[in-house]
Amino acid sequence: MVPVLFLLAALAAGAPAPHEFVIGEKLSGSVGFYDANGVRTADVRVGRHPHEMALSPDRRTVYVSDNGVVWMTEDGPGDNTVSIIDIASHRRTGVINLGSYRRPHGITVDRRTGHIFVTTERPSALVELDPVSRKVVRAYDVKGKAPHIVVLGPGSVFAYTSNDNSGTISAIRLATGEVKVIPAGKRPQGQALSPDGKFDFITLEDDNTIAILDTAKNEIVGRIGTGRSPNRVAVTPDGKLLVYSMQLAGAVGFADIAARKQIAQVPVGGQTMSIALSPDAQLAYTGIQEHDQIAVVSVRDRKLVRTFKTAPGSGPDAIIPLW
- CA angle centred on 141, ends 83 and 64, rounded to 5°: 10
Q: What is the DSSP letter of 15?
A: P
SS3 8: helix
The predicted pLDDT at position 227 comes to 86
One-letter identity of residue 94: G
Do the Cβ atoms of 179 and 125 come closer than 8 Å? Answer: no
Q: What is the pLDDT of residues 237-276, one digit of tens each?
A: 999 999 999 999 999 999 999 999 999 999 999 999 999 9
Coil/strand/helix, residue 274 = coil
pLDDT (tens digit per residue) in 155-208: 999 999 999 999 999 999 999 999 999 999 999 999 999 999 999 999 999 999
pLDDT, average across residues 15-32: 84
In the chain, the N- to C-terminal Cα span, in Å, equals 14
Report the candidate in 238, 229, 182, 236 with the shortest Cα–Cα distance to residue 210: 229
Span 15-34, average pLDDT: 85
pLDDT at 323: 83
CB distance 315 to 26 below 8 Å: yes
pLDDT at 309 over 80: yes
- pLDDT, tens digit (0-9, with 9 covering 90-100), for 31-47: 999 998 899 999 999 99
pLDDT digits (tens, 9 = 90+) for 80-108: 999 999 999 999 999 999 999 999 999 99
- Name the average pLDDT for the chain: 93
> 216-225: per-residue pLDDT in tens?
999 999 999 9
pLDDT tier, 18 (very low <50, low <70, confident <90, very high otherwise): low
- Of all residues in the chain, the percent with pLDDT exceeding 70 is 94
pLDDT of residue 8: 36
277/244 Cα distance (integer angstroms): 10
pLDDT of residue 204: 97
Closest by alpha carbon to 124, among 155, 161, 87?
A: 161
Longest CA pairwise span in the chain (Å): 54
Which of 13-17, 120-124, 185-189, 201-205 is least confident? 13-17
**pLDDT value for 133:** 97
Cα separation, 142 vs 166, in Å, equals 11
CA distance 303 to 27: 28
E strand or H helix at 285, and its extent?
Answer: strand 283-288
Report pLDDT for 75.
84
Residues 150, 117 contacting (CB under 8 angstroms): yes
Question: What band does 71 get if pLDDT is binned at 50, 70 and 90?
Answer: confident
Whether 5 shows a pLDDT value over 90: the answer reads: no
Query: DSSP state, 225?
Result: E
